[in-house]
Amino acid sequence: MSEPSRKSILIADDHESVRGITRIVLERQGFSVTEAVDGVDAVDKASQLKPDLIVLDLRMPKINGIEVATILKGRLPDTPIVLFTMYQASPVVVSAAGISSVVRKADGINSLAECVTKLLAPKPEPFITSSPVSQSPPIAPE
């Protein structure tokens, strides 16, 4: 779905204008973006393209964003999913669906872009010292 240096994002929203502005903002930040028009399209495209991150609307035709997230977490367990919605979503339901983050549309597209950037930022390598672990001397039998 993407060039080696570009992270890929799938945007699923039934409103063309939301997909369009989201695409523009994320592409300007260097991401490769693919659009899905509803929940079924999102499942199909994500399963085929295996994007680095998925942005879902909550209310979409055919399958809603929570159902899509649940399906895709089974297929792409390491892929972060962002719910970008104007509706309230239960934290319990969001967590159970495997959604990484929720961004309210009222907070604006820049909030979504910031969330996406954070989720796709390189993770630091764990710090491991090169010195061997010290061992206690063996206990002598009595």
**Alpha helices of the chain — where are they, by DSSP H?**
16-28, 39-49, 65-75, 91-96, 109-120
Q: Locate tokens 């919605």: which residue?
A: 85
The Cβ-side half-sphere exposure at 89, using a 13 Å CA radius, reads 27
Enumerate residue ranges in the chain where pLDDT < 70. 1-5, 127-142
- What is the structure's pLDDT at 65? 94
CA 119 – CA 81 distance, rounded (Å): 9
According to the model, what pLDDT value does residue 122 have?
A: 84
Query: Looking at residue 90, what DSSP letter applies?
Result: -
> pTM for the whole thing?
0.82
Q: Which of 78, 101, 79 is nearest to 89 (CA)?
A: 101
Predicted local distance difference test score (pLDDT) of residue 120: 94
Which residue segments constitute the domains of the chain, with CATH numbers given? Answer: 8-120 (3.40.50.2300)
| The pLDDT value given to residue 112 | 95
- Residue 33 makes CB contacts below 8 A (sequence gap 6+) with 8, 9, 10, 11, 22, 23, 26, 27
Q: How far apart are CA 116 and CA 109, in angstroms?
A: 11
